[in-house]
């Protein structure tokens, strides 16, 4: 602006003009961002506004989502969550996007998501169709059975052996409902301990307060492996009560964000990355205690990797 022109304008107008000129590059950058980034997703819009994505993580869902010796979340499904975060960074063009974590339990994970306390949870959440009224599910990343862990010396090998006895499971899980239905349908008259988490439920078996812990079989193998030299005292037994998939959960009504997560998971499964990740967490020593679950890839998992899908279970 020439000196002569500045002298003819009121001072407040000159200051406003300087501010406007200074902000012009910012407005231009925002316009360019809006034109290249799809913010029709409420979740992506929330993440962009806060420059932070909030992940729900678990404390003891070994080897899916759990805390290491330093209290940091790690695991098979936590690694998948971070791959989704990488894609969010690319989509939003924000390489410095912050990641915040909130510990959730089987009882709180759905409500935390519905109430916007977290944006995504990839832990050990079963895709049960009844839950679709509350949240959306990504493509499945794991398929498992529901069985029980017992002490070998207990002599318990099937569900009929549980009649009249105390059994533990984890509160807020589909397994808890399955166990109650089992007790009713087979007239087992079970006394059921609904523990706050998997560690507490397994501890009930360790201390003799329960004779069995009914849960997803990979989680049972995970708890046994954590017992070190004492792991041979336990065994997983009984026929599978159900076959269910794990998936990431996100808020309903956001097809753009769901497709983003689905595409990441499907890409990992088709490329072989998911199988490599599986071997890392289920067939090798894992932190913090260098345990090895020795849980080979099942035919059902191989079929899932070959044909990614988001099919839920009616259990």
The 3-class SS string of 104-147 reads: CCCCCHHHHHHCCCCCEECCCCECEHHHHHCEEEEEEEEEEEEE
Which pLDDT value is given to residue 36? 55
Same domain, residue pair 133 and 51? yes
Residue 102 shares a structural domain with residue 194: no
Residue-level pLDDT at 11: 55
Choosing from 220, 243, 266, the residue where a domain stops is: 243
314 occurs within a structural domain: no
Give pLDDT tens digits for 113-158: 999 999 999 999 999 999 999 999 999 999 999 999 999 999 999 9
Name the pTM for this structure. Answer: 0.77
pLDDT-derived band at 79 (thresholds 50, 70, 90) equals very high
Residue 311 covered by a domain: no
Determine the average pLDDT of the residues in 302-311: 97
Residue from 154, 153, 174, 243 nearest 166 by CA: 154
Q: What is the mean pLDDT of the segment spanning 81-100?
A: 97
State the total domains in the chain. 3
| % of residues, the chain, pLDDT over 90 | 82
pLDDT of 17 over the 50 cut: no
Tens-digit pLDDT profile for residues 254-295: 999 999 999 999 999 999 999 999 999 999 999 998 999 989
pLDDT of res. 196: 93
Instruction: Give the pLDDT score at 6.
Output: 47
User: Per-residue pLDDT averaged across 53-64, rounded?
Assistant: 96
Tokens of 262: 């689905």
Q: Is the pLDDT of residue 200 over 80?
A: yes
Place of tokens 């977290």: 118
Cα distances from 66 to residues 59, 61, 77, 117, 212, in angstroms, run: 4, 5, 10, 19, 23
For position 37, what pLDDT does the model report?
72
Which of 218, 243, 268 corresponds to the end of one domain? 243
**Judgement on whether residues 212 and 250 belong to the same structural domain of the protein:** no
Check whether 35 has a pLDDT greater than 50.
Answer: no
Residue 312 falls inside a structural domain: no
Comparing 53-57, 71-75, 242-246, the range with the smallest average pLDDT is 242-246
CATH number at residue 215: 3.40.190.10
Domain that holds residue 26: 3-36
| Local confidence band at 10 (pLDDT 50, 70, 90 cut-offs) | low
Q: What is the DSSP string of 13-66?
A: HHHHHHHHHHHHHHHHHHHHHHHHS---SHHHHHHHHHTEEEEEE-SEETTTEE
- Rounded mean pLDDT of 233-260? 96
pLDDT bin (cut points 50, 70, 90) of residue 314 is confident
**Structure confidence at residue 16 (pLDDT):** 46
In terms of domains, do 139 and 249 share one? yes
Residue 280: both structure tokens together: 């890392």
At residue 202 the predicted structure's pLDDT band, cuts being 50, 70 and 90, is very high
* Mean pLDDT for the stretch of residues 9-16: 48
Residues 131 and 250 in one domain: yes
Which residue reads 């020439």 in tokens? 2
Q: Tell me, what's the pLDDT at 38?
A: 75
pLDDT at residue number 4: 47
Give the pLDDT of residue 305.
Answer: 98
Q: Are residues 138 and 185 in the same domain?
A: no
Could you tell me if residue 22 is inside a domain? Answer: yes
Q: Do 111 and 190 fall into the same domain?
A: no
Q: Looking at the predicted structure, is the pLDDT value of residue 162 above 70? A: yes
């Amino acid at each position: 602006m020439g000196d002569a022109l500045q002298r003819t304008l009121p001072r407040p107008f000159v200051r406003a003009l300087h501010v406007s000129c200074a902000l012009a590059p910012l407005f231009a950058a925002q316009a360019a961002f809006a034109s290249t980034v799809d913010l029709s997703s409420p979740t992506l819009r929330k993440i962009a506004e806060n420059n932070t994505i909030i992940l729900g993580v678990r404390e003891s869902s070994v080897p899916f989502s759990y805390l290491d010796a330093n209290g940091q979340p790690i695991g098979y499904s936590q690694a998948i969550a971070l791959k989704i975060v990488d894609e969010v960074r690319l989509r939003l063009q924000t390489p410095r996007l912050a990641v915040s974590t909130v510990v959730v339990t089987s009882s709180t994970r759905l409500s935390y998501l519905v109430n916007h306390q977290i944006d995504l949870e990839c832990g050990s959440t079963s895709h049960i169709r009844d839950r679709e009224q509350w949240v959306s599910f990504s493509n499945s990343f794991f398929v498992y059975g529901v069985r029980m862990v017992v002490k070998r010396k207990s002599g318990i090998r099937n569900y009929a052996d549980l009649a009249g006895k105390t059994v533990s499971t984890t509160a807020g899980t589909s397994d808890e409902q399955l166990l109650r239905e089992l007790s009713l349908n087979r007239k087992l008259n079970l006394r059921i301990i609904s523990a706050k988490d998997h560690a507490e439920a397994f501890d009930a078996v360790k201390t003799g307060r329960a004779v069995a812990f009914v849960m997803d079989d990979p989680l049972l193998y995970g708890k046994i492996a954590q017992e070190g030299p004492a792991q041979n005292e336990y065994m997983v037994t009984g026929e599978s009560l159900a076959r269910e998939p794990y998936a990431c959960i996100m808020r309903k009504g956001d097809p753009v964000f769901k497709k983003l997560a689905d595409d990441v998971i499907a890409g990992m499964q088709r490329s072989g990355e998911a199988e490599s990740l599986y071997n890392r967490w289920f067939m090798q020593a894992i932190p913090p205690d260098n345990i090895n679950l020795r849980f080979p890839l099942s035919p059902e998992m191989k079929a899932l990797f070959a044909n990614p899908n988001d099919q839920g279970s009616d259990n």
